[in-house]
């Protein structure tokens, strides 16, 4: 396991066209285990100490299928694969939501030794209706 520096940029657009732009820089860890890379980092989702532990992982032989899980005040587990739709349960302190994640783009250049970047472009749907379109970029650098 090694220490890494992460930069995360996310643009979330709702059906009305309103955008939320999120930029995060934080420290994390990257581990190679059984041919799979695990990237872990913590995120304060509210700015008030509501910490969520995020784990992104992928098989080095199948880089275009990415799993993302969150544990803490917000809980979720999603799979991103271009052209595929996956169910995703999202739990917040005020309730749980059943969503579907539909990835339009999955681009992953992360290498355990060199770092790299994950770019995701996806829609989140609830009951067949798109509730959010997201562009997400995670950059992995040496700490």
Comparing 33-42, 84-93, 116-125, the range with the smallest average pLDDT is 84-93
Tokens 């969503």 -> residue: 99
| Domain total of the chain | 1
State which residues form the domain around 111: 2-142
What's the average model confidence in pLDDT over 10-15?
A: 97
Domain of 11: which CATH number? Answer: 2.40.128.20
Average pLDDT, the chain: 95
CB hemisphere CA count around 72 (13 angstroms): 15
The CA dihedral of 62, 34, 89, 71, to the nearest 10 degrees, is: -130
Integer angstrom CA distances of residue 1 from 23, 31, 72, 85: 25, 4, 22, 32
Over 70: is that where the pLDDT of 41 sits? yes
In this prediction, residue 122 carries a pLDDT of 98
């Amino acid at each position: 396991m090694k220490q890494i520096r992460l930069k995360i940029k996310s643009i979330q657009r709702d059906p009305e066209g309103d955008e939320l732009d999120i930029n995060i820089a934080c420290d994390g860890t990257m581990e190679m285990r059984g041919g799979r890379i695990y990237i872990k980092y913590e995120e304060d989702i509210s700015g008030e100490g509501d910490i969520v532990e995020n784990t992104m992982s992928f098989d080095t032989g199948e880089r275009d299928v990415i799993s993302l899980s969150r544990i803490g005040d917000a809980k979720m587990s999603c799979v991103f694969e271009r052209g595929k739709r996956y169910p995703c349960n999202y739990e917040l302190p005020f309730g749980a939501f059943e969503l579907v994640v539909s990835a339009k783009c999955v681009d992953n250049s992360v290498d355990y030794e060199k770092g790299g970047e994950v770019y995701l472009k996806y829609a989140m749907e609830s009951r067949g209706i798109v509730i959010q379109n997201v562009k997400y970029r995670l950059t992995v650098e040496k700490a």
